[in-house]
Structure 1
């Protein structure tokens, strides 16, 4: 920030308080950021802490006293050392020669060596996306919790790389950062923290918009719609799903399919059977066309999980909401027959939804049998979404008077 930023009464008073929480809060709310404060989600990524930690620091519940942390936060925010109430211990750095692209480096007693003529950002962004694909595989097999400590740190790393980067290299890093932030939002959604999920996903949308990647931005709007539907906010879910579909000419078939799937579920939450059925029919059509096209690029990779089996599971979720359990059961059984083993966490969710459908169809014994298989997977993946469906089975069984089956299920659920 410019010297004028730090010279305002707001920042001078905050720094005079000798409380980093007051300083951080004043920094976020500084008028230079525009009409809206800098988001907590973005600032906590810069500082490498969670949003809960940042909130407690700002409110004074967790006062930062350790010198190491004070120095780290001051350096992250680039606070001028003369304004601080502690010593940063800046060591003088030796001047390094400026190397322009393609310059020749004279080595002592040796040859002239050419400096690298290419930028490193594209290769680094691609390397990061390769890591993200590995993380996605781990999540599909083992669930989200092992990655929650890792992915937000990767976002903070990319944020640091963005500082001082411009041009095409910045765009590549922004896209990678958006993908990681969206994935962090997904992990928080799967552990049941919907507020953090929406905040991370909103941060991802900011980066996608800055990169002017309309395809990625559409996908992220679909993800925000998915979080809204988990929060049982059908109007918001429908509005976001429709916003995701506003640029169909730039969308890969799989991305259109998942956005239409999301629109269908929002209609199901609003008890609109016909609109739900129409959206699902279109979603299946695009999923099939994407599979037949066989594209393998960044656009298709965003929603490569959107197979016809996946859509069968999502369609059944809609039919349960619309109180059509028999239709849900036949749809789920068709999808499970061709399920891909790498999507293990979603297999647990699919089985849990099948159990809900059986319970709704007054088949308590079938419901518990299926639920027990789901519990065996949920115990390993620890998916909150799966657990939520399993407990929903229990509630339906109790409401229907199937107390023996409900007690059996409660005993199995105790393992979770």
Structure 2
């Protein structure tokens, strides 16, 4: 039987990821098996979880997944001692219209699983008001239980005392208070944290975070606040069809945004995955029957991608006879050209007519529901696909046949329809699940 907790906060940027990693590593140092999950569509944090725990982490998402799929995914925590679900944004932040089993809010997962919430509160620029915020979050939704609070970035002992007293008066447990500590700050870039696999010192950073948190947080009290949890058998698993029997998957620093649960579902359905690196000028495996280019940071490596003739010619040759699909950054690389942040235009593979630019950044963010107008690898026409879009590119041209009719979470039609030409398809959204 595992102990389950949700790590959340009033907003983004407060320290949820750092606390999650530190707790996971500190308990692992004590000999406990820790399993992490990420609530919501963030595709970067699960790799940090895996680095901290030694166990693969996956996303659970109430907007895109039904309860059966979520139960199936969290079932991997059955043999763990502690299970931590890291939230996204603020505790109750989701979309206005419910999706499959909720709005995508972390609170949905906390209520669904019956796990108490540990709030990370940053009281910078305030004191007693932090207690009012915590009390408001505690009382906002009856089905969500607050275990207690960890204060982050407290300015001084006096500051900590003021906030602690107010929280105690409100009947809210304070598990600890963390002074400012730059040494455990995780580096960021425009789509979130710099990826775990790009940080050679990530293990040392997590160890330092664990040491620091163990010094300032009552780990035993946090663990006692967790709910005893036994996973319930899932009536159904993920509704995911592999795009092929043998999949050539682009995988390197420019192509890394793929949801772990998707890869596991493909393998679970019998597909084989062979990886190749476009940045190393590698072509897809000639024995594969489909090629998949996930998102990532092609805009940071556009010159190198443009110069890698073996990759580009190999991909074009592959696409003459077999399907090639790109998501977000992968879609951009399938296009005609990509203009980087300095205004330099780089020729891409030309399998699609898409042209994008980062010279004038525009954020595209949100859930997407796509009804396919044409087939894409693993999915028939008329299939309804749920995904998430997050990028800063501007579309200069999208001239090919639209792949889908795409709506945002409010039901509004959006212009990012994806494209289809020959054997090549692409979407700006990252696929999470198909509606049953």
Q: Could you tell me the TM-score, scaled by structure 2's length?
A: 0.27
Comparing both structures, which one devotes a greater share of its residues to strand?
2
Larger CA Rg, structure 1 vs 2: 1
> Is the helix fraction higher in 1 or 2?
1
Higher relative contact order (CA 8 A, sep 6+): 2
- Give the alignment's TM-score, normalised by structure 1: 0.28
